[in-house]
Each structure stands twice: as C-alpha cells, then as structure tokens.
Amino acid sequence: MALGIILAAIGAALLALGMGVQRYAFTKEPLVPFLGWQLPSFWVWLVGLLIYFAANGLYAVSLSFAPLSLLAGIFTTLLLWNLYIGKRLLNEELTPQKKYGAFVVMLGVIMTASATSDQVPTEFSVEEIQGLFLCVSGTVYITLLGLVIHICVAIIALFEKRYPLEKRESEMLEDLQVESCKKITFAKTETSGEKAIQTITLGQGRTPLNESVSESTPHTRTLPYKLHRSLTMSFGSRDTAPLSNYIRTRSSFYAKPEEVQKNQKVPSWLDKCMALIYPGSLGLDEGVAHLSMKAFMALIWQCGKTGTCGEPIIYIMFGLWSVTSLATLWWMRTVFKRYEITKALPIEYGAVMAVNAMSGLIFYKESKYMETWQITLMSVGVFVIVIGLMVGLREKQKQQTAEPSTGLHDKDNILEPI
C-alpha cells in the first residue's frame, strides 16, 4: 500500500508540473525561456504533455498497490502542487483564499488516508472483476453513472446548438494570426507582367513562393488553420508557429480569463447551471476511466501467472478505459472552450474525487473491510476535500495575474538549467 501511495503522490506532482509547463508554453512569443534555452512554444508544450502522460502512467500503476478510495485523496494533492507551480512558474498570485483552500484540502486528504483499512484487497482475479460488474450493487452503480453522463452529454449538445460561441475556432485562429503578424502578404511588383512574390511569415520562418496577382494594390489573405493545414505549414516552413496557434485555440486552458469565448444571449441562471454540468460531467467521465483503469491494471498484472490474458473481461476493461479516456480529450476541449480554468477545474476535480471514492466504497466493495467509523471518516474527508476545492480555486478574475514568470532559468524558479 505504501508503494501505491508514493507512486500516486509523485504522479500528482508530475501531473501538476505537466499542466503548468503546457500553460507556460503559450505565455510568451515567439520564443519561450526554458531550462536555459530559448525554445519555440510548441516544443515546450510538448515537454509538458509528455510529463502529463508520465504522471498518468504512474497513477495507473499505483492503482495496483492501494485502494481506489485512498488514492483518490492522495492524487488530489496535485492541487497543492498546482498552487506552488502556478506561483513559481506562471507568477500567479497565492491569495489567502487559495491558502485556506489548500489547508482544507490537506485536512480532507489526512482524513481519508486515516480512514483506510489495511485489509482492503488490491488484487483481483478475473472471476472477482466479473462478479463486481454482475452483482446488483455494481450493476446499479455503473448504470446510474452511465445514465447521468449520457444525460449530461445530451444537455451539452442541445446547449451547444442553441447557444453557439460567438466566434468559431477558425475565426479565433484568424484573430491570433493577425495579432501575431502571422499572415500572408501579396505584393505586386511594379514591372508589368512580372509575377509577384508571396511571402509567408510564420513566427520565425519566411517562405517565398511565386504566384500571379491581378490586383494593382497589395492585399492580405488568411489561410484556414485546420489541423492538417497547420501540420502542413509547420513542416513545409520548418516553423512550429502554425501548429502552436492551432493548439492555443482548442480550449481556454491556454487562454487568459478575458480571452474565453462567451455567448451573451445565455440567461444568467442557465449559464450557472451549465458551468456546473460541463466540468462536472467531465469529472464523471474521468471517474469511469479510473474505475476501468484499476480493473484493467489488476487483471493484466496477474494474467501472466494465472494464464488468463486471453479472457474477454480484460479487453472489455481496456476498451472501456480507452473510450472514456478519448472522450475526456473531447470533453476537456469542450469544457475549457467555454469556461476559464479557474472556474471549471475545481468542479472537475471535485467530481473526480467524489466518483473515485464512491467507486472504491461501492463498486470495489472496500466498505466491507472498513468499520463504521472509517466509512464515516472517509465520507467526511471526501466532502471536506470538495469544499476545499471550491474555496481555494473559485478565484475571481481580478485576483488573477496577467504577467507570467520570466522563465525556467531564473535562480528562484522551480527548475534550474541543465
């Protein structure tokens, strides 16, 4: 169990670091100070993404060594790392509200850890996993969870259709292109009959092409920044700026609060409801992903010894894990496209924490190995963590700083040059 706790704690710290590096990558243009170098934002973002994947891998392994309800609390410590990395890397203000929230979260983590029984099993056979899904409590739990998620998806789909964003992604990309002076300029030569020179300015790259122009005055044209177009332009010009622009406009995760797109026609009461449904449903989906991840890791960990690697339940769990993980990618893009990270993230994490705790107590029947006071203490601890999330992360826009840190090479920063 100790190994699982250590791996989950390290994974939480790395996850916060990965998220921080990804956000930091788009705070400066065209080059980002990183570990003593000046790198294009895309490569810094890619480093953050790799750290993010490594963190999730550590958390997946930790599920084989400790109860899900316990690791749910341990993994929530990533929020504390978010505060520290946000201050040191992104120069975000560490307000008293955040400090109080962090204290409450840690109190809840201590309560959940103290309530865990060392009798809770962490290894499951094929028959045991099948039994968990086929028993009444497991079937009802999974069915209700799936039903709530599908209802939320239907509501979100109707809301997206009824109240679309004021700007489409292509328009946001065009605005970003103009602001960054990444545009295509056609300048006709003064000699009659000669072909004009088309200059494509993309971040630090410049590519001349030949094309005839019929107009007598210079003009500009903006190309659509679809994914395939961004990749083509980046490879063709050996410049990652188009790809970086594409990534920046996919969600408000990389945007400042004032840059998040809104639909002014949405009623205030409905906007508040959707601000709960969007990130809350994302947290529910991630909870299902963690539930299936634990089942798959438990099965694959011992299938070689028991000769059960060909059992259908293993592939079913892997399929459920894969589908919910891929759905998370779409969900994150949809959520953070409408709601700034400081508003959506605490609701998302609160939902993940609650679902993981319930999955451990109800689905994996960890409550069978716990006394009444332990179940009560863990339930209270989960509630305290959720309260701490709401208190610490529901920051007002005026409390957010707009100036990021100067880079990862400063002597007081969290990372030193290599």
**Do 284 and 403 lie in a common domain?**
no
In a domain, 257, yes or no: no
Percent of the chain, pLDDT > 90?
21
In the structure encoding, which two tokens stand for residue 189, read together? 């030569």
Confidence of residue 315 (pLDDT cuts 50, 70, 90): very high
111 and 15 inside one domain: yes
* 334 falls within a domain: yes
Structure-token pair, residue 328: 């998370």
Q: Are residues 148 and 288 in the same domain?
A: yes
Q: Per-residue confidence at 143, pLDDT binned at 50, 70, 90?
A: very high
Q: Are residues 67 and 191 in the same domain?
A: no
- Residue 54: inside a domain, yes or no? yes
Cα(392)–Cα(130) distance, rounded to whole angstroms?
Answer: 40
Helix axes 41-62, 241-248, angle to 10 degrees: 50
pLDDT in tens, 181-239: 444 443 333 444 444 434 444 444 433 444 333 333 333 333 344 666 666 766 666 66
DSSP code for 253: G
Same domain membership, residue 312 and residue 283: yes
Domain termination site, one of 223, 252, 281: 252
| Same domain assignment for residues 203 and 98 | no
The reply to whether 154 falls in a domain is yes
Determine the structural domain holding residue 9 and report its residue range. Answer: 1-120+372-418
Q: Provide the H-helix boundaries in 91-203.
A: 96-115, 126-134, 136-162, 169-179
How many structural domains are present in the chain?
3
Asked whether the predicted pLDDT for residue 173 surpasses 80, the reply is no
pLDDT band at 397 (very low <50, low <70, confident <90, very high): very low
Statement to judge: residues 299 and 242 lie in one domain: no
Q: At what angle do helices 227-237 and 241-248 cross, to 10 degrees?
A: 150
- Enter the pTM of the model: 0.73
Answer for the pair 315, 303: CB distance below 8 angstroms, yes or no. no
Closest CA to 69 of 412, 409, 370: 370
Q: Does residue 50 register a pLDDT over 90?
A: yes
Asked if 413 and 268 sit in the same domain, the reply is no
Helix (H) or strand (E) holding 284: helix 268-306
Which residues partner with 184 through β-bridges? 200, 221
245 CB neighbour count, 10 Å cutoff: 26
Closest CA to 109 of 355, 371, 357: 357
Q: What is the pLDDT of residue 231?
A: 67
Residue ending a domain, choose from 369, 386, 409? 369
Residue at 21: amino acid letter: V
With vertex at residue 103, the alpha carbon angle to CA 122 and CA 366, rounded to the nearest 5 degrees, is: 20
Contacts of 122 (CB under 8 A, 6+ apart): 1, 4, 64, 65, 66, 67, 298
Q: Is residue 182 located within the same domain as residue 238?
A: yes
Domain assignment present for 276:
yes
Q: How many CB atoms lie within 10 A of CB 385?
A: 28
Q: Label residue 322 by pLDDT band (50, 70, 90).
A: very high
Q: How confident is the model at residue 414 (pLDDT cuts 50, 70, 90)?
A: very low
Q: Tell me the per-residue pLDDT of 62-86, one tens digit each, with 9 for 90 and over.
A: 988 888 888 888 888 887 888 888 8
pLDDT of 146 > 50? The answer is yes
- Residue length of the chain: 418
347 and 363: one domain? yes
Q: Give the CA dihedral 401, 402, 406, 410, nearest 10 degrees.
A: 10
37 in the same domain as 96: yes
Q: Which of 252, 279, 299 is the last residue of a domain?
A: 252
Please tell me the predicted confidence (pLDDT) of residue 291: 93
Asked whether residue 312 falls in the same domain as residue 362, the answer is: yes
First-to-last C-alpha distance (Å) of the chain: 35
Predicted pLDDT at 408 = 53
Residue range 131-149: average pLDDT? 93
